[in-house]
Amino acid sequence: MRIAIQANSNASSQAARQKLIRGLKQDNFEVDVPHPEVVITIGGDGTLLSAFHRYADVLDQVRFIGVHTGHLGFYTDWRDYETDDLIAALKRDSGESTSYPLLDVLVDYEDGTTAHFLALNEATLKGTSGTMRTDVYVKENFFESFRGDGLCVATPTGSTAYSKSNGGAVIHPRLAALQMTEIASINNRVFRTLAAPMILAPDEWVSLRPEPFQDYVMSIDQFTAKPAMITAIRFKVAAEKIRFASYRHMHFWDRVEDAFIGEKKPDAL
């Protein structure tokens, strides 16, 4: 098995990386190859997001494993002190995996060029120096004229991140849906938006057509850019999926409980 390891710069992550490399090489795994079958990330969800974008062009060829060195993340199943157990699981590997939906983002620019992105969590478009103004379409049908700070379109796993902070629902990743949430929308006698999260079916898509000559910034997961003049952005459920090696993949609602509630009641007698 060919394995690549990506770790953040924290001392604990680097120490876990070195220990893992030594153990993998002792068991004759190919480590840190350019074309891996398994990508192990060590750090947190941010480290895994970086690895996802690094290998986004070969998602059908790789599975991911997250090792966390801090608080439990939504994409990390192992702790840094469990490297021996992880190596034992890799030795027993039979190709099992758990898949999560992704967000497909297609951007049209004023100069006629296009750009394509995949997001694991979410994509946003925000105004930077004033109110963002954009028309919103569902499929090809006009839905609303949005006025506010911005809009966020999230995957089911991304529903626990920035989307939730905007009042969005938490969606189980078995539902291949998209969720659009508003960021500080303006609602008065002149401007009117839905003022509620929208959950779109897998065969639907949402498009934004911002008014020209605005100052705005676009983000794909944790990466932000002040783009060239955008004429339209289309969001839909991606054909690709991310796959995690599911040796002991934690149940989604257990992750939600651990992250946001953190109090498990004893089993009822």
Say which amino acid occupies 218: M
45 in active site: yes
DSSP state of 163: H
How much is the pLDDT for 9?
93
The tokens of 69 are what?
Answer: 């060195």
The tokens of 230 are what?
Answer: 């955008």
DSSP state of 168: P
How much is the pLDDT for 198?
97
Binding-site sequence positions for NAD(+)? 45-46, 121-122, 147, 149, 160-165, 184
**What is the pTM for the complete model shown?**
0.91
How much is the pLDDT for 250?
72
Judge contact between 102 and 242, C-beta under 8 A.
yes
Q: Alpha-carbon distance 171 to 158, whole Å?
A: 9
| pLDDT by 10-residue block (mean), the chain, 269 residues | 95 95 95 92 93 96 93 81 94 92 95 94 90 94 95 96 95 95 91 93 96 86 82 96 86 83 62
How much is the pLDDT for 267?
60
How much is the pLDDT for 18?
96
How much is the pLDDT for 227?
66
Region for 125 from its dihedrals, namely left if φ exceeds 0, alpha if ψ lies in -120 to 50, beta otherwise = beta
Chain mean position to CA 233: 18
- Beta pairing partners, 219: 124, 224
DSSP state of 188: S
* Strand pairing report for 223-225 and 216-220: antiparallel
Binding-site sequence positions? 45-46, 121-122, 147, 149, 160-165, 184
Say which amino acid occupies 200: L
Largest separation between any pair of C-alpha atoms in the chain: 69
The three-point CA angle 261-264-265 to 5° equals: 130
| CA atoms within 13 A of residue 234's CA, in its CB half-sphere | 13
How much is the pLDDT for 269?
46
Q: Considering 27, 32, 45, 77, which one is annotated as catalytic? A: 45
* Strand pairing report for 30-31 and 2-7: parallel
Q: Alpha-carbon distance 59 to 235, whole Å?
A: 19
